[in-house]
């Protein structure tokens, strides 16, 4: 399981890098991709989306429900579409690097398998 909002940011930016999406879809995508291990609950997701928008990493607009009409702000039902900004794209790159760096650090420890009993 994984709910920390640090990884949540990485995941949301990553999903949006593949194209525009919206809140509910993001929770579903996250769960599907991680085979249920990643639960992007409303309490985590929406505050995060707001924060990302405030930082200028994503943009939002209320547009048509159908994906192919996502830019059409005409009549009918709407939902809130989010898109990755250029700044967000850069941030995603940084986050990926940070993750890979962390990965190497932890691997430096878990890569080493136990030796023997007793004292060093």
Per CB under 8 A, residues contacting a second copy are 2, 7, 10-11, 14-15, 17-21, 33-35, 37-38, 67-68, 70-71, 89, 92, 96, 99-103, 105-106, 108-110, 112-116, 118-120
Selection from DNA, a second copy, none that 5 binds (CB < 5 to 8 A by kind) is DNA
Beta bridge partners of 82: 21, 60
38 touches, from DNA, a second copy, none (C-beta below 5 to 8 Å by class): a second copy
What tokens appear for 8 in the block?
Answer: 């949540």
From residue 120, how far is each of 105, 107, 109, 114 by CA, in Å? 22, 21, 16, 11
């Amino acid at each position: 399981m994984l709910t920390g909002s640090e990884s949540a940011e990485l995941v949301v930016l990553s999903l949006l890098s593949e194209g525009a999406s919206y809140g509910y879809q993001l929770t579903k995508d996250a769960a599907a991709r991680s085979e249920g291990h990643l639960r992007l609950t409303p309490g985590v997701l929406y505050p995060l989306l707001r924060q990302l928008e405030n930082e200028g990493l994503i943009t939002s607009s209320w547009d048509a429900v159908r994906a192919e009409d996502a830019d059409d702000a005409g009549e009918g039902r709407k939902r809130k579409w989010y898109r990755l900004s250029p700044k967000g794209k850069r941030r995603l790159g940084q986050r990926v690097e940070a993750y890979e760096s962390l990965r190497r650090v932890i691997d430096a420890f878990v890569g080493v398998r136990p030796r023997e009993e007793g004292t060093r």
